[in-house]
């Protein structure tokens, strides 16, 4: 009877769970909830500062970044002027300056050779633009929090990966005037949830240099074979165009960052870890062997029956007077150790928060913001540990220690 009663309760519980399951909905952690787009819904393309990239010799020729709407670039602006996007503290500290753009993208709506605008670039600004092209500056765009990237192939593994950003222009060896990229082939990868909702899971931009001529009717043709070269001795008329292609992908929203997080050679990391571990084990064994031999001699001497040897300290006992003697600048030591506690707890808490999924790459600067806030919060730990250590050394100026920390 008891088994029958237990079976009936189990069946009732299963039926209840089955009835309530359709009413349950999954939730996302704050700040990382995906945006579900409907067909035809506007998808905003945001622009960020232009940044330098590594040249063929893996060297940076510049460390300065320039705002996208710097008047010397003469890029197309949206109607009413560019509007800044709300950014976190960490994003601002890392140099992000994100604005809206004049690009018009709609979910699953392909466009071909869409005219963005026509700009006249004076010769005085051409030198600035060509210099930035020669130094390898990159565009940095964002769509649904994903950076626009170019597809590259790893020479060692022959695996494709996404390289964040794309070139402002191109130049070959011995070329006097570089090509300016004024046409953009934008490929947006999307993942379909159902017949209505879609999510952006990848953004690839292929830039091109085209000397496009804009006719009076305003419809341009992007079939020009001649590249767009900017000359410093005259004004240059530049037509900015773009095409948008929506590409279905089996990639889910949760794994859309995998193509961006590419390790160039993971074997190097394993070699470094193993090398460090071997060195630590070897040095620890050597130190332990020396200590064991020293202590063995001292213990054997203490166990001997020679009374004269027992009256004086020798060996490792000679340091007992220094162990309990406070250092000369114990206040500075207390401050340093307190700051170490502060940094330690900041790192541990940041790692825990990251493991729980609260720090998403889609939220730019969230990691830096979290570290700064936690560093401030754990200031009490630094003050307490510094004052406690200073008090153990016999210090009396505890308030000064706390303020200094």
At 26-85, the pLDDT tens digits run 444 545 678 899 999 999 999 999 999 877 667 777 888 999 999 999 999 998 888 988
CA 196 from chain centre, in angstroms, equals 32
pLDDT value of residue 272: 81
Q: How far apart are alpha carbons 229 and 240 in whole angstroms?
A: 13
CA 175 from chain centre, in angstroms, equals 35
Residue 3: pLDDT band (50, 70, 90) is very low
Q: What is the DSSP letter of 66?
A: B
**3-state secondary structure at position 204:** strand
Mean pLDDT: which of 254-263, 296-305, 373-382 is highest?
A: 373-382
Confidence check: pLDDT of 223 > 70: yes
Tokens matching residue 11? 């069946």
Q: How far apart are alpha carbons 260 and 263 in whole angstroms?
A: 9
Residue 184 forms beta bridges with which residues?
A: 207, 242
Least confident of 2-16, 115-129, 250-264, 279-293: 2-16
Least confident of 101-110, 262-271, 351-360, 395-404: 262-271
pLDDT value of residue 195: 85
pLDDT value of residue 400: 75
Whether the Cβ atoms of residue 161 and residue 169 lie closer than 8 Å to each other? no
Least confident of 10-24, 151-165, 391-405: 10-24
Using alpha carbons only, give the angle 66, 371, 50 rounded to the nearest 5 degrees.
Answer: 10
Q: How far apart are alpha carbons 198 and 337 in whole angstroms?
A: 52
pLDDT value of residue 28: 47
Angle, in degrees to the nearest 10, between helices 330-355 and 379-392? 150
Contacts of 223-226 with CB under 8 Å at 24 or more apart are none
Q: How far apart are alpha carbons 173 and 177 in whole angstroms?
A: 11
Using alpha carbons only, give the angle 139, 226, 242 rounded to the nearest 5 degrees.
Answer: 40
Confidence check: pLDDT of 290 > 70: yes
Beta strand pairing call for 111-121 and 166-167:
unpaired
| C-alpha pair distances (Å), 159 with each of 189, 258, 287 | 19, 13, 45
Confidence check: pLDDT of 393 > 80: no
At 186-204, the pLDDT tens digits run 999 999 998 889 999 999 9
Contact partners, residue 319, CB within 8 Å, separation at least 6: none
Of 115, 120, 86, whose CA–CA distance to 100 is shortest?
86
Least confident of 199-203, 211-215, 342-346: 211-215
Q: What string of DSSP letters covers 225-267?
A: -S--B--TTS-EEEEEEEEEEEEE----GGGTTTTTS--S-HH
At 86-139, the pLDDT tens digits run 888 888 888 888 999 999 999 999 999 899 989 999 988 999 999 999 888 999
Residue 198 forms beta bridges with which residues?
A: 37, 192
Beta strand pairing call for 141-143 and 146-147:
antiparallel
| C-alpha pair distances (Å), 280 with each of 174, 294, 403 | 51, 21, 38
Residue 25: pLDDT band (50, 70, 90) is very low
Confidence check: pLDDT of 11 > 80: no
């Amino acid at each position: 009877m008891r088994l029958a009663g237990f079976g009936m309760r189990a069946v009732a519980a299963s039926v209840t769970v089955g009835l309530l399951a359709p009413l349950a909905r999954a939730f996302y952690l704050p700040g990382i909830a995906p945006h579900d787009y409907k067909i035809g819904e506007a998808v905003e393309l945001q622009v960020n500062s232009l940044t330098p990239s590594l040249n063929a010799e893996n060297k940076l020729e510049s460390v300065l970044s320039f705002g996208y709407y710097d008047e010397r670039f003469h890029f197309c602006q949206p109607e009413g002027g560019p509007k800044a996007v709300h950014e976190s503290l960490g994003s601002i500290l890392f140099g992000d300056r994100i604005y809206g753009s004049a690009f018009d993208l709609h979910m699953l709506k392909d466009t071909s050779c869409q005219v963005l605008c026509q700009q006249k670039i004076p010769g005085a600004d051409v030198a600035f633009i060509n210099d930035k092209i020669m130094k390898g500056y990159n565009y940095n765009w964002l769509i649904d929090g994903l950076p626009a990237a170019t597809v590259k192939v790893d020479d060692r593994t022959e695996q494709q990966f996404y390289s964040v950003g794309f070139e402002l222009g191109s130049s070959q060896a011995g070329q006097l005037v570089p090509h300016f990229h004024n046409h953009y082939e934008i490929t947006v990868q999307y993942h379909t949830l159902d017949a209505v909702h879609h999510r952006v899971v990848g953004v690839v931009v292929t830039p091109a240099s085209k000397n496009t001529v804009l006719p009076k009717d305003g419809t341009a043709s992007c079939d020009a074979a001649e590249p767009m070269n900017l000359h410093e001795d005259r004004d240059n008329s530049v037509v900015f165009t773009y095409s948008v292609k929506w590409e279905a992908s089996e990639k889910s929203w949760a794994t859309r960052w995998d193509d961006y997080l590419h390790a160039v050679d993971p074997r190097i990391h394993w070699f470094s870890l193993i090398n460090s571990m071997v060195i630590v084990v070897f040095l620890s064994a050597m130190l332990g062997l020396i200590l064991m031999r020293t202590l063995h001699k001292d213990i054997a001497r203490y166990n001997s029956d020679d009374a004269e040897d027992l009256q004086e300290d020798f060996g490792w006992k000679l340091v007992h007077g220094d162990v309990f003697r406070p250092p000369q600048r114990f206040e500075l030591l207390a401050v340093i150790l307190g700051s170490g506690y502060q940094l330690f707890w900041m790192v541990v808490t940041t790692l825990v928060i990251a493991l729980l999924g609260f720090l998403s790459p889609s939220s730019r600067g969230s990691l830096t913001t979290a570290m700064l806030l936690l560093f401030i919060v754990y200031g009490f730990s630094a003050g307490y540990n510094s004052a406690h250590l200073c008090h153990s050394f016999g210090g009396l100026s505890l308030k000064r220690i706390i303020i200094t920390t």
